[in-house]
Amino acid sequence: MDRKLRQNKPRLLLMGQRRSGKSSITSVVFHKLPPQETLFLESTTRIQKDSMHSFMDFQVWDFPGQLDYFDPTFDTTEIFSEIGALVWVIDAQDDYSESLNRLTTTILNLQTTFPHINVEVFVHKIDSLNDEFKADIFQDIVQRVGDELSDQGYINPNVSYHLTSIYDHSIFEAFSKVIQKLIPQLDTLETLLNVLVNKSGMAKAYLFDILSKIYVASDTRPIDMEVYEMCSDYIDVIVDITDLFSYERSERRTLGEQMEEAESSMTIQDGTMIYLKEINRYLCLVAYIKNPEAKDKKGLIDYNVHVIQDAINDVFERKWEKEDKNENGESS
């Protein structure tokens, strides 16, 4: 599994003006730095390839804000050829005109050579803006980028926009959406999670990347931010405990005899249950069950989750087998 995952990592590229928040995003999402400590981070001054050992094992290339990467001396093929998504970070609290100019130039340049790249615009640092101002800025950015691109003859560009801040879950939510577009098995995973929630009386189920807390899939019911935040916070609690007592995640080995994957559930006052199960070394399932009878049905839930765990691991195994066949020139 590890070898295959490393080969297939979707790659993200983080770009934007200096001080827009790129290093902070990388540190908070992928290295668990508390957001307030980013105040003391050094701004990005060089290209950083940051390789993470998570389920996706994707890389974030953190670029200096002012770098002219379309300079002829720059190997654009090297930079862009293997990228799934370009994340463009805009500081919503600052004057962003120059950033928009650079963004549209970049999109136009990519359009001819790398049209497959998803451009994901993070309208960032929205934490101190009130709702009305936030909506105005968002609209202004979408409008100006769209107008500029259509003036240049580029209609329907492959660009998405997200409101983000490192001070709440919005940055994780945005990355989840970015990553989901890069997972070919997403439909199958969603179908499996739909079956699970329907059969087990769950309100919502997420499949999270344990290291980054980015969710790689969920069932297709609407997302309630409060539930999402509860599920994502629960991972930290459980992972801290399992790491402490049993399991050296980074070393990929277990200490002594134990169940291979951690499992935990917690029932709160109104009978609501949060249920967590590690699916494999990188992924965990977190479900929210808003039913006072959940405690009595725990056996059924355990069983259903176990079946889904096998199915999810199968989905990835099958993909790799297919790729092996293709690599060996066998017809599938």
Name the residues that contact ligand GDP, by CB under 6 A.
Answer: 16, 18-24, 38-39, 41, 43-44, 65, 124-125, 127-128, 165-167
- 37 SS3 class: helix
Interhelix angle 186-200/298-327, nearest 10 degrees: 170
Q: Across the chain, where does the E strand assignment appear?
A: 11-16, 48-51, 59-62, 83-91, 118-124, 159-164, 204-209, 215-218, 247-248, 253-254, 263-267, 273-278, 283-289
Closest CB to ligand GDP among residues 19, 319: 19
Q: How near is the Cβ of 179 to ligand GDP at its closest, in Å?
A: 19
- Token pair of 6, please? 């490393």
Closest CB to ligand GDP among residues 41, 230: 41
Q: Which residue has the tokens 């970049």?
A: 106
Q: How near is the Cβ of 63 to ligand GDP at its closest, in Å?
A: 9
Closest CB to ligand GDP among residues 18, 298: 18
Closest CB to ligand GDP among residues 91, 219: 91
312 CB contacts (<8 Å, ≥6 apart)?
Answer: 189, 192, 207, 279, 283
Give per-residue burial for 89-101: e unless 16+ CB within 10 Å, then b.
bbbbbeebeebbe
Q: How near is the Cβ of 33 to ligand GDP at its closest, in Å?
A: 10
Closest CB to ligand GDP among residues 128, 139: 128
Closest CB to ligand GDP among residues 138, 288: 138
Q: How near is the Cβ of 64 to ligand GDP at its closest, in Å?
A: 8
Torsion sign (Cα): 286, 290, 292, 297? negative
Closest CB to ligand GDP among residues 81, 128: 128
Edge to edge, what strands does the sheet with 48-51 contain? Answer: 48-51, 59-62, 11-16, 83-91, 118-124, 159-164
Q: How near is the Cβ of 321 to ligand GDP at its closest, in Å?
A: 41
Q: How near is the Cβ of 46 to ligand GDP at its closest, in Å?
A: 11
CA distance 136 to 96: 13
